[in-house]
Structure formats: C-alpha cells, structure tokens
Structure 1
Amino acid sequence: MGSTEKTPLRIVFMGTPDFARTSLEHLAGWDGGEIVGVYTQPDRPCGRGQVCKPSAVKQLALEKGWDVYQPVNFKDPAAIDELAALRPDVLVVAAYGLILPQAVLDIAPHGAVNVHSSLLPKYRGAAPIQRAILHGDDVTGVTIMQMDKGMDTGDILKARALAIGKDDTAEILHDELAELGGKLLVETLDAMVAGTLRRIKQDEDKATYAAKLSKSEGQLDWTRPAQEVHNRARAMHPWPGAYFFWCAPDRDKPLRIALTPGEVGPSLEEYGNPEPGTIIGDVDGKLAIACADKVYLAAAVKPAGKKCMTAEGFCCGYLNRCAE
C-alpha cells in the first residue's frame, strides 16, 4: 500500500523589513513546507555612519542557514533563471519592495501569494497601515492575495479583520498586523496543500490607494479638530514622526518640535478657549495644546536639537511654568 504522506511545498520567500520577518518566522515553524531560498533587497547604507546593514529578513535567513539572494531587480534574465533553478512550488511575498514581472509570477505552479496589511481592495499600495489610522478607521486587517501583474489587484485567498484601538499608533498596529499576517499565511498554505483554497475577485469599485508617506505629512495643523490631529500623530509614529512649529516669545524663528502621540483631551472651554496652536501647559503629565475644538495631550515632545522631554520639562525650559 503506497504512502499517503504529502511532499512538503518548496517555498521561496521574498521580503525585506520587520513585517516580512514575522511572516518568515511563522513559515519556519510550519511543517507543511520547505524554504529553499530567501530573497530580500540588497544591503543598503543606513545611519549616520552609512554602514551597510542586512535587512530583517536577511538576518533571520542567515540565522536559519537558508540561502539568501539579493538581486537589484528582475530585469536581467539571469536573475529569473536563478530563481527558476530553485524549483519553487510557491512564492511567498511580504513587503519585498521589488516589482515582480510576469515571468517571475509564472515560475511556481502555485504562483505567488502576498501578505498585505489591509482588507483589500481598500488601501492598495505602500502605506495601508498609516492611511487607515490617518483616515480614522476603526477596523483594518490582513489579506493573503494571489499576485498578478497589477498593484495589489490579485484574487483574495484569505482575509481577517483587526480592530484599531483609539490610541493605536502605526508602530503598534504594524506589529499586530504582522503577527496576524503570519498566522493567516500558514492557514492559507494549509488550505493550498489540502486543495480547499477559494479565490475571490476584488471589487474594483471599492478599491482605494494608500500612497507612500512623505516627511511633510508629519506636520500637524492645530486648526483642525483634535481627533484629526491625534489620527495624524498616531499614523506618523514612528516614521516620519509628527511635528509642529511653535513661535516662542524669545525666538526670531519658529521652533520645530517633534511630538510623541498622546490622546484627545477636554474641551477648550475648560481653558478659556485659547487660539489653536497655543501651548497651554502640563495637564496630568502631558503637554496640552489647543486644537480647533479640544485640547490635544502630547505624551512627550522633542524641540529641534534637544533631547526628548516630558511636559514638565518643556514647561520649565520653554514656558517658565515649573510645577511647584
């Protein structure tokens, strides 16, 4: 009688940052597949010393002893041939950062599946986590998608929702979605092996695009409602970071101040209805700043050229209002 044991899927993983590393960690613990190669972007200089640093995915791959490949792109036929030589059954992609031409998508019998941090077709593109927070959404999620030649336009294989907490930052949501994505990826591959995967076409009429963030988007506008300010501060943490310009009485030029997200505070009426942008002072250990309707309470601030400081420290150093 023949064996019913199934041959493990030959998997080539493609990813670069921490989000992708989490998916790779889940794959490493899955007994239904064998990782035959890991693709990640080339090492690039970073930091003040411009030292080349391996990606989060490469670091894990080296720890596990997997073969690492780092092509600049797939325009060279030799790079495609090298991938094909690994004979993958499926390509698993998570935040890789390189465009995969059709010749690459066609290499594996099961094609390429992608871990995307939104509920597609909403927030296709580079910054779905930040855009969801910026728009004040209460729910986001992860989609495992069958990749095609479009930008996040492929069929949905599995999707799962995740609530966004009222004070969640992009950093917090990133980590939660990365973990959810890793778990959902394994579920998807289990279904692939079992032959039970269902493909659902995306509704193009509901598609939205999540453009890449720019540094200038971190600037806060105090003439907006406090909730909008809070959403922007949360969405921009940790990169590019929220900031504002403050005209101190003893300075010729406005001071650039970075801000750590906090929470929406009470109505302006409690503080005499100050003008938007007025720094009210230390309120319960947070720096209170007037918005259009309410006070925004920043957890901490960092004036340009200075270290991060508490509300009390800022008030003592810049407002001359030390707590007694």
Structure 2
Amino acid sequence: MWTSGKIAGATLKTLSSFQHCCIPTVLRRGTDGRQQRLCRLMSSSGPPWRLLFFGSDQFAVESLKLLTSSRNSSEELVKSLEVVTLSSDVPVKRFAQQNHLPVHSWPPDNVDGQFDVGVVVSFGCLLPERLINKFPFGILNVHPSLLPRWRGPAPIVHTILHGDTVTGVTIIQIRPHRFDVGPILNQELHPVPENCTADELGAALATKGAHLLINTLRTLSERMAQKREQSKTGATFAPKLNTSLSWVVWEEQTCDQIDRLYRAIRFRTPLRTTWMGQTIKLMDFVGKCHISSADQKRKPVPGSVTYLKESNTLAVCCKDGWVGFKAVLLNKRLTAADFYNGYLHQTLQNKTLYQTAECLFVSRKGGTAAHQITENSVLQQ
C-alpha cells in the first residue's frame, strides 16, 4: 500500500490529529510496523468489528452468546467472530462448535490483519505482547470485580469470602506481562445479594459483563480516548482457589466467616476438618445454631461437637458460637443422625462431654495459613 517509509511518515503526521477519536492504539515503532498498523486501522475505524474471542468456562460463554447474537442482528456491531480455547473440553469450545464459529487452538496462528479487536473473558492464560500488537484496537478483558479490587483468577470467590457488599464488572484493555492491570474503559457496580453463593453471584456478573462488553464495543473509539488508569490504591489480589482454603480453623473463625467460606467454595470443594485423625468433609451447612447454656454440661472448646435431635443437625463450636451441618462425609456420606448413632452416642451420654477426642473436630495443623488473606491485602506494584 505504501511506496516508501517517507510517505508512510507523512501520512502518520496527517492522521495524528485523529488518533484520539478514530485510532485509539499507539502505532508501533519502525517503518514496517507503522505501515502494517495503518493498513489495519484504515480497514476498520469502527463497527462492525472483526472479533477474536479468548475464553474457556461458563462465565465466558455468556459474553460469547451475546456476541454471537450481535453478529446475526441488524445492528451491525459484529462482522465476524472466531474463538480461541486452551483445551478441547471446555464450555466455550462446545458453544462455538454448536454455533458453527471457527475455533483456533492456543496459541493462534496467522491472526495478523484478520481482526480488529480481541476479547478475553476468563481465559486463564497471559497473552504475549506480540499477539496483543496484532489487534489495531487492542484486546478487551471482561473482569468480574471493581478493579483494582480483586485482581487475579478468583475475584468472585474472594468477594464472597471477604463479605463485600458491592462488586461489579470492569472492561479493561489488557497489557502484556501482568494480569488485570490495564486501563479501564467501562465499569458497572452490582450489589452483592445477602447470603448468595459464589456461583449465584458469578451467573449474575456473567450476564452483566456480557451486556457491558456490548455497550463498550458500540462506542469503543470514544471509550479508548477516555480510558483511565487504575488507581494505585485499593488493589487486592484474588488467588486461585485450592483445597487448603477449605480447612476450617475452629479456634480462629467466627460463625459469619465459616458461613462466607461455605458460600464461597461450596460448589467447588466441601469444608473439611479432622476427626480422630481422619479427614472429614462437612456437608449441607445450615448456618448458626443456638445452644442454650442449660444444654451444655461443661464449657465447650472450639471444635466441640454435639447433636441436635430436633433439627437432625451436628453442631460444632467455633470462635464465637455454634454452626450446624446436616451431613458429613467419612468414607461415605452420613446424615447427622447416622454420625451421632454410629460414633457419638455413647460418648455424649457420659459426663465427659466435649472433653474426649470422639467429641472434637480438630483444626488441621498449619491450617491457619489458608486464612491469612486479609481485607487489606495490597498488591505489590
């Protein structure tokens, strides 16, 4: 297209006044790089967009669904839509195949000049700078938190775990080398419903994020011109969930903290403790239990277990009260009544209540390390 670097340089000078309204990305250095970027920008300065979507799980599917619908609508927002996935058996790939969308394996080949915008939603892999630079309007990311709060792979879990009452969705332009640090293009608040689980909140944020993405794509050039850097204060990190988080520390955790932990991880891994040297999984959490002082033969210690016949519940003493479970998993699933009749009945009849190993759930040694993610855990910049 260009006959010389000199002509390309002159054209760059002419277009410089339009960069903020029509060309939001920074042109790469070097004559060849400028020529390639200019060719791509001249081919598309606005919708309909040629999109390449990077995603994996069900959260990402919600955005992909709306983009697919937009491709087929009269709005002319999406001209073409193709998909990149990390593995063969993920919800995003299944949806793409069912809807006849072209699918690329990771890393994608030969994307130069083929797309205007990239979209990343719950992809789980850092995109290299050389790939980001192939998209004239950059790559957008749908992140389910109010960045810079809860950067990282598990923002929804940590929103519930830390008792946040407000969260939201943020659309950022991704940058190389680090996750979730790019400038903010769009952001919307979402109240956290009382007693909701991480999965329930995730479903709501997936829908909200999909609509916010469409809204951003409609006015992308203007959004790029008005983008703002993330605040340097208030940044927190949401590390990936692992099973160490599921161990209850009866001496340290309150009823409310155990309740939030259960709601944050219940669909991924059950709460755990140890009993008589064995791992026991705590099922069907029912929340805080009331046990009157008249029912207590001796003062309980954290981890003490008793059985509430009226509600068929195992009650366990924690830092500031009692919490209840309807079942446990010990080799096999046992109801509270089964566990009581098979293991606790004889002990609870004598006067050594709460003082024997049979009546104690014991915190795992070193388990407190999983609970040192505090409200003010600030990211290192």
- Could you tell me which of 94, 99, 124 is aligned with 1:97? 124
Looking at structure 2, the residues matched to 132 and 255 of structure 1 have their Cα atoms a distance apart, in angstroms, of 28
| Comparing 62-71 and 204-213, the one that deviates more | 204-213
| Comparing 16-25 and 264-273, the one that deviates more | 264-273
Correspondence for 1:83: 111
Correspondence for 1:242: 271
Contact 1:268 1:293 in 2 (8 A): no
Deviations 1:119-170 (A, max 9, x none): 1001111111111222222222211111112321011111122222342222
Structure 1 regions of 5+ residues with no counterpart? 1-5, 44-53, 74-78, 248-252
Classify the secondary structure of the residue corresponding to 2:332: coil
Contact 1:243 1:259 in 2 (8 A): no
Correspondence for 2:90: 55
Change (3 A) 1:257 1:93: same
Change (3 A) 1:96 1:14: same
Correspondence for 2:209: 181
Correspondence for 1:259: 283
How far the C-alpha of 1:90 sits from its partner, in A, is 0.7
1:41 aligns with 2:93: no
Contact 1:242 1:260 in 2 (8 A): no
Contact 1:233 1:260 in 2 (8 A): no
Correspondence for 1:227: 256
- Could you tell me which of 65, 69, 93 is aligned with 1:29? 69
How far the C-alpha of 1:316 sits from its partner, in A, is 4.2
Residue correspondence of structure 1 range 88-237 to structure 2 within 5 A: 88-149=115-176, 150-192=178-220, 195=222, 198-223=226-251, 224-237=253-266
How far the C-alpha of 1:256 sits from its partner, in A, is 1.6
Change (3 A) 1:260 1:157: farther
Q: Which amino acid aligns with 2:64?
A: L
How far the C-alpha of 1:314 sits from its partner, in A, is 4.0
How far the C-alpha of 1:12 sits from its partner, in A, is 0.8
| Comparing 311-320 and 152-161, the one that deviates more | 311-320
More strand by share: 1
Looking at structure 2, the residues matched to 135 and 216 of structure 1 have their Cα atoms a distance apart, in angstroms, of 17
Looking at structure 1, the residues matched to 115 and 311 of structure 2 have their Cα atoms a distance apart, in angstroms, of 57
Change (3 A) 1:303 1:33: same
How far the C-alpha of 1:58 sits from its partner, in A, is 0.2
Cα root mean square deviation, aligned: 2.4
Looking at structure 2, the residues matched to 268 and 202 of structure 1 have their Cα atoms a distance apart, in angstroms, of 50
Contact 1:155 1:199 in 2 (8 A): yes
- Counting matched residue pairs gives 290
Structure 2 regions of 5+ residues with no counterpart? 1-45, 347-381
Task: Flag the structure with larger Rg.
Answer: 2
Looking at structure 2, the residues matched to 172 and 310 of structure 1 have their Cα atoms a distance apart, in angstroms, of 26
Contact 1:113 1:145 in 2 (8 A): yes
Change (3 A) 1:96 1:262: same
Contact 2:126 2:179 in 1 (8 A): no
Looking at structure 2, the residues matched to 304 and 280 of structure 1 have their Cα atoms a distance apart, in angstroms, of 17
Change (3 A) 1:271 1:209: farther
Contact 2:83 2:102 in 1 (8 A): yes
